[in-house]
Amino acid sequence: MAIHKLEIETKKGTWSGIRIEESNSYEAFRSSETIEYEVKSMPEVIALRTEAKLDSKIWGARIVTPSIYATILTKDGKTLHIYSHAKFEWTESQHLDERKISTQNGSKVMRKSELDFLVTRIYNEDAPETFTIKHEELIKWPGGEYGIEKPTAEHMKEYGGKIDGKDMIAINHPQTLPFLGCSKREAERYFDVYVRKYGDQISICYDGNEYPEPVMRLLVLGGHHGIALSADASIGCNDRWGVNLIANGKISDKSGKWLTMEQLLNLTNDLVPLKLQDELKVRFGNWYK
């Protein structure tokens, strides 16, 4: 595990947090629980990226979030795709351990409590963090590279640059706003900054399959630099790109230290032999004085 300190100047002042770097989602969320940090959802990460400087560590890394993309069957047998940024137990590390959960094609088969919670959010008018898309509406738009300001040459050639009269640009893809979890204006602001960082194209990826059981994936700013809107990563995200979580601490420290000595020692208990732990406490204690 690696922890990187983050400070971002926002309209409300300086936001301080961390970027937790791990090899897979299970280890990453377990680490966040160990050091008691609250992981940011997709719309929260997008808001921070929009205000961050282009050389900030919140850019340039693949970011995994506790926001989810789920596929379920309705009572009449139709497939529904759901994007939810609600806080729930589905990203507790015990529910992401691939040795203990059921998967289909890289998706996690949802537990009954997870599905029940999600259904309550779908039909709750006071739950603006959850979005639904009908299967036929989503798959009408292909996954892949999209222009931000104008359709790509490939989309011009294959589709005439339009689907149902809409320009084939990123903001018009049916996944974009539910994925980002924000308004169209907020998404446009994000893309304005994104273009300055990466240029006029972005990848939009989704699973799009139909399943007999309810399944879910984590929403990811995918790829090596976190430039894709990915709803197709495996639940473990255990590939070459690794996992980065953006979090802010529940525990504040007036000294400005972003990880207490006790938290640091908790992370090393299973790595350091018992006979050396007292010496480690002394050395960390000298640093924290």
**Predicted confidence (pLDDT) per residue in 79-128, tens digit:** 999 999 998 988 899 999 888 899 999 999 999 999 999 998 887 767 67
User: Is pLDDT at 252 greater than 50 in this prediction?
Assistant: no
Q: Which two tokens stand for residue 193?
A: 């900054």
Taking the C-alpha atoms of residue 277 and residue 272, their distance in angstroms, rounded to an integer, is 6
pTM of the predicted protein model: 0.83
User: Is pLDDT at 256 greater than 90 in this prediction?
Assistant: no
pLDDT of 287 reads: 45
pLDDT of 50 reads: 94
User: Minimum mean pLDDT among 124-128, 179-183, 224-228, 280-284: which range?
Assistant: 280-284
Confidence tier at 261 by pLDDT (50, 70, 90):
low
Percentage, residues of the chain above pLDDT 70: 87
pLDDT of 149 reads: 95
pLDDT of 7 reads: 86
Q: Summarize pLDDT for 19-47 with one digit per residue, the tens.
A: 999 989 999 999 888 877 789 999 999 99
Classify 237 as helix, strand or coil. Answer: coil
CB 88 within 8 A of CB 116: no
Q: Summarize pLDDT for 183-198 with one digit per residue, the tens.
A: 999 999 999 999 999 9
Percentage, residues of the chain above pLDDT 90: 56
Cα–Cα distances (Å) from 208 to 4, 190, 231, 273, in that order, read 34, 25, 9, 48
User: Is pLDDT at 254 greater than 50 in this prediction?
Assistant: no
Please give the radius of gyration of the chain, using alpha carbons only, rounded to the nearest integer: 20
Cα–Cα distances (Å) from 189 to 26, 51, 181, 184, 196, in that order, read 32, 9, 13, 9, 11
